[in-house]
Structure 1
Amino acid sequence: METWDEREGLVAMHQIRGVGWGTLDKLQKVGWDPGRLPEEEEMRMWREVGIHSATIDRIRERWTPRWVERVTGELKKREIQAVTLLDRDYPPLLGQLPQPPWVLYVRGDVSHLQGPGLAVVGTRKPTAYGKRVTRQLAGNIASRGWTVVSGLAAGVDGEAHRAALEAGGRTVAVLGCGVDVVYPRHHRELYKEVVRKGAVISEVPPGTEPHPGLFPQRNRIISGLSWGTLVVEAAEKSGSLITAHHSLEQGREVFAVPGPVTSPWSRGTNRLIQEGAKCVIDADDLWTELIHVSQPEAPVRGEHLSETELGPREQAVLDFLGEEPLTVDSLADRSDTSLGELHRILLQLQVKGMVHQLPGARFVKK
């Protein structure tokens, strides 16, 4: 039987038309091995778990060693890297989502996905006030060593990326199209600079053109990579508010910059503040809320921090973990730690390189 690298197989499967998050989740649940051809009996099981016959037929036609080799070669040729849920360097914060992307396509520096990040988003038509505030806050975030995460859109997104680059800091642009597609077109030069000095990422296969349905999905990744979302200016029905609501659902912080009550571009942010978002009038308002987030140096592969560098609660959680994967609920049953605190501790242990998250929100000690 012909076999190949599992992660390359997962990436190649992801690029077959009709295979999305749901199909891959169903395949994983029935024990699919991405490193080999499936037997006919296995494909019959796929139908039983709800995978459409048309999708199975496309997989049967496409899913060959030649296809895996072709996809791998094309990504290398285009200088696109793939990071999968099977990889130990998958972004730990993103892995905490209920539906984390199975595959992330990256152009630029993959290490930018590891450090602590803050999302900075807002209207595509900011006022002069909005542009000035965005540059001040995003520049401060980047100068502190945090990654500025945004969507490369016109307006606040673009200003946030530029401010981070000008500060000599880190920035990640999450696209609602293929990682090799520049959108909006007038951001071509900014796109190139982010690729050179930061990272551009997407969860959809290369070559995918932008369309409205992809942007809400993209927004959950912007917030999912970040410890919090800062909304600078936004109308009442702005897409930026979707990112903020994703942050709330993900248990992350939400920050908003107040604006004139007469300005339509501040209606959304002022409403967020009414609903409990942290009001930000200067950068210190961000850091007082994020004081609990440590910023360790990225661990060297194969080396770990010594146990003496862990806090007592981190050490207690680490002691429960071994080679057998455990879910968060299982860990909560074994300890006296709340679920919210347990999530925070697991994130810190992942950032420190001591814990690895597996598909299905299961954790093992590295």
Structure 2
Amino acid sequence: MPSDDACALLTLIAAAGAAAPRRTLLERHGNAIAALDAGPAAWRDAGLSQAQIEALSRPCRIATLTREWLDSPTHHLLGWNDPDYPPQLRRSPDPPLALFVAGDPALLWHPSVAVVGSRSPTPAGRENARDFARALAASGLSVASGMAAGIDTAAHEAALAIHGITVAVLGTGPDIPYPRTNTGLHARIAESGAVVSEYPPGTGPLAFQFPSRNRILAGLSLATLVIEAAERSGALITARLASEAGRDVFAVPGSIHNPLARGCHRLIRDGAALVETADEVIAALAPQATLLARDLQTRLGAPIHAGQGVADQVGRGSGRDDPDYQNLWNALGHDPTAMDQLVMRTGLTAAAVSSMLLLMELDGRVASQHGRYFRSR
């Protein structure tokens, strides 16, 4: 059964309209219950519209589908005021009031790259998506995408294939795979990664929701990488939103005879970085990934809602006498070792290994080269 605070937060979500006034309300009053208890005068002072005020005045009613979805221990609702709300997204221009997460919400703190592109890529484009995503995941970065057909699907599948971290940001409810052909992929990402949506369970696909979804994808990620995109495409929307959020944009060039290369060429003309290998992306993002790892370090003293999430595992592994930390240290050698090999050697999850490696790099005990890790001393 959802908590009273979850019920109050769901009431704020259902009020719809502009999110900024509702975020202000949560910031002023600390939690959703207090925000609702503040009353119409406080709601109006925070900037809520009359329609929103009327919606907040109604008794809390949680849809049966949402209640049943939240009853699962692997399903989570993160509000704007929640300490587990991902910091990258919080710093974006228009963060959602709340996130519905299937899987591990701690993974939303992990440094990620949004890999996006055409829903109908060429064979070469699909292969590029796999190669880039595989290398990004092997380096310890999370591969984020929108679980659409084509480039998105190839990127998610490549990350999963090497037991890397992948996050899917949906334009539907968290329980609605879209396209339906990705039902199996949706289940796999929810099991080992995270599926994220700002829309309540049961929300079907509507055209306007997908550009809105793209701002979350761009906001969660350190950078957006575009692989094959027509001159008018959703991938270019994500790239624009990433740029507006102050994030890096990378584009893979293609043949001048390929219509799906024109969007990438346009991005490059407009200032996106031309990249030919994943190593170029990894090198460019290393300083930002370190900063995000420090954000994670500041969060280690408090529990992540996932219970056994990344932050908990890293917290237990941050002491040198911890068995998981020692296990990973023993699995490392002086020769560079790939992420998937470390996962196999330790028996730990890719998420835990990746986050622990980030902290070990900050301590100066581990170094990385071309997506492989080794002891630095």
Give TM class, smaller chain.
0.7 to 0.9
TM-superposed deviation, 1:76 = 2.8
Contact kept, 8 Å, 2:136 with 2:282, in 1: the verdict is no
> C-alpha separation between the residues in 1 aligned to 2:139 and 2:263?
28
Q: Are the structure 2 counterparts of residues 192 and 5 from structure 1 closer, same or farther at C-alpha, using a change threshold of 3 Å?
A: closer
> C-alpha separation between the residues in 1 aligned to 2:104 and 2:46?
38
> C-alpha separation between the residues in 2 aligned to 1:49 and 1:109?
32
Of 122-131 and 95-104, deviating more is 95-104
Q: Are the structure 2 counterparts of residues 58 and 256 from structure 1 closer, same or farther at C-alpha, using a change threshold of 3 Å?
A: same
TM-superposed deviation, 1:216 = 1.3
Query: Which string of whole-angstrom CA distances, capped at 9 and with x for unpartnered residues, describes residues 279-316 of structure 1?
Result: 111122212322323444854334999xxxxxxxxxxx
The count of residues paired between Structure 1 and Structure 2 equals: 301
Q: RMSD in angstroms over aligned alpha carbons?
A: 3.0
* Secondary structure of 1:86 counterpart: coil
Q: Which one of 4, 9, 12 corresponds to residue 11 of structure 1?
A: 9
TM-superposed deviation, 1:42 = 2.9
TM-superposed deviation, 1:37 = 8.2
Q: Are the structure 2 counterparts of residues 186 and 18 from structure 1 closer, same or farther at C-alpha, using a change threshold of 3 Å?
A: same
TM-score when normalising by structure 1: 0.74
Q: Which one of 241, 252, 258 corresponds to residue 246 of structure 1?
A: 241
Query: Which string of whole-angstrom CA distances, capped at 9 and with x for unpartnered residues, describes residues 182-217 of structure 1?
Result: 111111111111111111000122211121111111
* Secondary structure of 1:61 counterpart: coil
> C-alpha separation between the residues in 2 aligned to 1:140 and 1:244?
21
Contact kept, 8 Å, 1:26 with 1:51, in 2: the verdict is no
TM-score when normalising by structure 2: 0.72
Q: Which one of 162, 169, 173 corresponds to residue 164 of structure 2?
A: 169
Using the aligned pairs only, state the percent identity.
38
* Secondary structure of 2:81 counterpart: coil
- The gaps in structure 2 that reach 5 residues or longer are 303-311, 316-357, 363-377
| Bigger relative contact order, structure 1 or 2 (CA pairs below 8 A, ≥6 apart) | 2
Q: Which one of 3, 17, 39 corresponds to residue 42 of structure 1?
A: 39
Contact kept, 8 Å, 2:77 with 2:98, in 1: the verdict is yes
Contact kept, 8 Å, 1:279 with 1:285, in 2: the verdict is no
- The gaps in structure 1 that reach 5 residues or longer are 306-347, 353-366
Residue 301 of structure 2 is aligned to residue 301 of structure 1: yes
* Secondary structure of 1:140 counterpart: helix
TM-superposed deviation, 1:11 = 2.4
* Secondary structure of 2:250 counterpart: strand
The equivalences for 1:280-359 within 5 A come to 280-295=275-290, 296=293, 298-299=296-297, 300-302=300-302
Contact kept, 8 Å, 2:138 with 2:164, in 1: the verdict is yes
> C-alpha separation between the residues in 2 aligned to 1:14 and 1:262?
50
Greater share of helix residues, 1 or 2?
2
* Secondary structure of 1:292 counterpart: helix
Of 87-96 and 286-295, deviating more is 286-295
